[in-house]
Amino acid sequence: MTTTFTTTTYASRGMRHRRPRRSVVPFLAPLLIWAGAAGVLALWWSDTTSVVGPAAWLTGAGRITGLLAGYACAVLLALMARVPLLDHTVGTDRLARWHAWGGRCTVSLALAHTLLIIWGYSLTSHTGLVSQTGTLVFHYPDLLKGTVGFLLFLATGILSARAARRRMSYETWHYLHFATYLAVFLTFGHQLSNGADFVGNRTAQVAWYTLFITVAALVAWYRFAVPVRRGLRHRLRVAAIHPEAPGVVSVHLTGAHLEELGGAPGQFLRWRFLARGLWWTANPYSLSAPAHTGHLRITVKTAGGHSAALARLRPGTRVWAEGPYGSFTANRRTAPRVLLLAGGVGITPLRALFESLPGEVTLVYRARRAVDLALRGELDAIAARRRSTVHYVLDEPGAYSSPLTAQGLSSLVPDLAAHDVFLCGPPGMAQAAITALREAGVPARRIHHESFAF
């Protein structure tokens, strides 16, 4: 059975809603990416006088796919360089989806480039495919390194497939992706030394160098230099560990100049705890309360080795924080009324938003059992203070019903279609909620969901 406990009060009149300005970056970024791809195709077109015969067609297709694969490598690295302008406007989850889709395209283009060039060259030289492959790899400048880079790309693509991804930890998957940096480095040289569109074309060479040097600078600065600088400046340390629910703990942190981090409610940081077994990885966890001068808090559920180890951290443990990241903030809001819809530990960013969002806000918090309702005391206090509504929905073990239907949500939240919805929870719950919200008439543009499974 499904049980619903509801706390209802009047909405606060003291917090007024102001419509935030909408950024144009999420619309301009894809246009810029596609414009760059068009420029790459224009490079091939301007350097190609005619295409006659099967060998020329195959070689020409190989040149096009190779150019696009090289360009796509730069785009992939730029998307994951953690540039604040992109991260705070487009959103980390959307960038991750673009990156994943682009990664599949890049591997496919690189594979097509390899096969088409070998086939086209073998027809031109009247040799077998195996013989032509050996000639290219061992006798063309930088192609041996390029082959190693291609194999690294291919291996990363296979390991990033959904079936393989489920079988490895977040930490392993994260660090395997560092192989792409090496792959880009190894393949970069052969593009300029063998590519017909670059040999003797100084303008194209300068443009290619500028593109990759710019991306490399962004990655070096935002993914390496900035975290080190902030770690030294803020001197974060674990202050205390507090249990919140079975398998859920809050980590309280103190440090210096924390107001400079600028973390907004709903955002997350990547936390590197300098303790045994934890120092080598930085995992994303949301702020579970608005940031205060000298104090931050995250709330984490045991879901793997890294999160389980946080419950055993000792006060005084040094911490490096990268961020803040994400656009799951009040800036996404478009309507005066808001529904916060949480599942499990997805309450953490929504708890921070519940305290800070102006206007009429309703919270629906779904958990398996009453004991699993983390931060419930704080939520009740916030609801009483701002005179808001909280619905606690519990699914008892073994239950098959779910409140995540259009009718169920509409019964909890009158005039649901007029609300903005901020949604955070496990993937299955989130997808069911999105389907129910759309069936209830909530426009897609008003459903704000940021997945942290990247």
Percent share of the chain, pLDDT over 90: 43
Residue 271 has pLDDT above 70, yes or no: yes
pLDDT at 112: 95
pLDDT of residue 358: 87
How many CB atoms are located within 10 Å of the residue 7 CB? 15
- In this predicted structure, the answer to whether residue 289 has a pLDDT above a threshold of 70 is yes
Q: Spell out the domain ranges in the chain.
A: 2-19+333-449, 25-230, 235-325
Contact 162, 100 (CB under 8 A): no
235-325 maps to CATH 2.40.30.10: yes
Over residues 335-381, the pLDDT tens digits come to 899 999 999 889 999 999 999 998 899 999 998 888 889 999 999 99
Strands 337-343 and 360-367: parallel
pLDDT at site 195: 82
What six digits make up the tokens of 263?
């973390």
Per the structure block, which two tokens stand in for 4? 């619903």
DSSP state of 223: I
Whether the CB-CB separation of 351 and 361 falls below 8 Å is answered with: no
H helix or E strand, kind and range, residue 271: strand 268-273
Instruction: Tell me if residue 408 falls in helix, strand or coil.
Output: helix
The pLDDT of residue 396: 66
Stretch 75-92: mean pLDDT: 88
What is the domain class of 2-19+333-449 according to CATH? alpha beta
Of 162-166, 279-283, 284-288, 369-373, the poorest mean pLDDT is in: 162-166
Q: Tell me what pLDDT residue 359 has.
A: 87
pLDDT tier, 20 (very low <50, low <70, confident <90, very high otherwise) = low
Decide if pLDDT at 9 tops 50.
no
In tens, the pLDDT along 25-81 reads: 888 999 999 999 999 999 999 888 878 889 999 999 999 999 999 999 999 999 988
Q: Which residues of 127-141 are buried (b: 16+ CB within 10 A; e: fewer)?
A: eeeeebbebbeeeee
pLDDT digits (tens, 9 = 90+) for 222-253: 988 988 888 889 899 999 999 999 989 999 99
The band of 155, judged by pLDDT with boundaries at 50, 70 and 90, is confident
Judging by beta carbons within 10 Å of its beta carbon (0-12, 13-18, 19+), is residue 401 exposed, middle or buried?
exposed
Q: What is the Cα–Cα distance from 240 to 40, expressed in whole angstroms? A: 54
Check residues 359 and 303 and name the one with the higher pLDDT: 359
Radius of gyration of the chain (CA): 26
Query: pLDDT confidence of 164, banded at 50, 70, 90?
Result: low
* Predicted structure pTM score: 0.78
Please say if the pLDDT value at position 118 is more than 90.
yes
Tell me the backbone φ, ψ of residue 114, rounded to 5 degrees.
Answer: -60, -50
Tell me how far CA of residue 304 lies from CA of 120, 170, 172, in angstroms.
Answer: 49, 9, 12
Q: Are 398 and 413 in contact (CB under 8 A)?
A: no
Q: What is the DSSP string of 95-124?
A: HHHHHHHHHHHHHHHHHHHHHHHHHHHHHH
From 83-97, 197-211, 301-315, the region with the lowest mean pLDDT = 301-315
Q: Is 213 exposed, middle or buried (0-12, 13-18, 19+ CB in 10 A)?
A: exposed
Mean pLDDT along residues 279-284: 82
* 295-301 sheet: strands from edge to edge: 283-286, 268-273, 318-325, 236-245, 248-254, 295-301
Predicted pLDDT at 344: 87
Q: Of the given ranges (87-91, 130-134, 382-386, 441-445), which has the lowest mean pLDDT?
A: 87-91
Residues 146/152/153/156 CA torsion (nearest 10 deg): 180
pLDDT digits (tens, 9 = 90+) for 166-220: 666 666 766 777 788 888 888 888 888 888 888 888 999 999 999 999 999 999 9
Q: Is the pLDDT of residue 124 over 70?
A: yes
What are the tens digits of pLDDT across the range 399-448? 434 568 888 899 889 899 999 999 998 888 888 999 999 999 999 989 99
Could you check whether 2-19+333-449 and 235-325 share the same CATH topology?
A: no
- Angle separating helix axes 143-159 and 92-125, nearest 10 degrees: 140
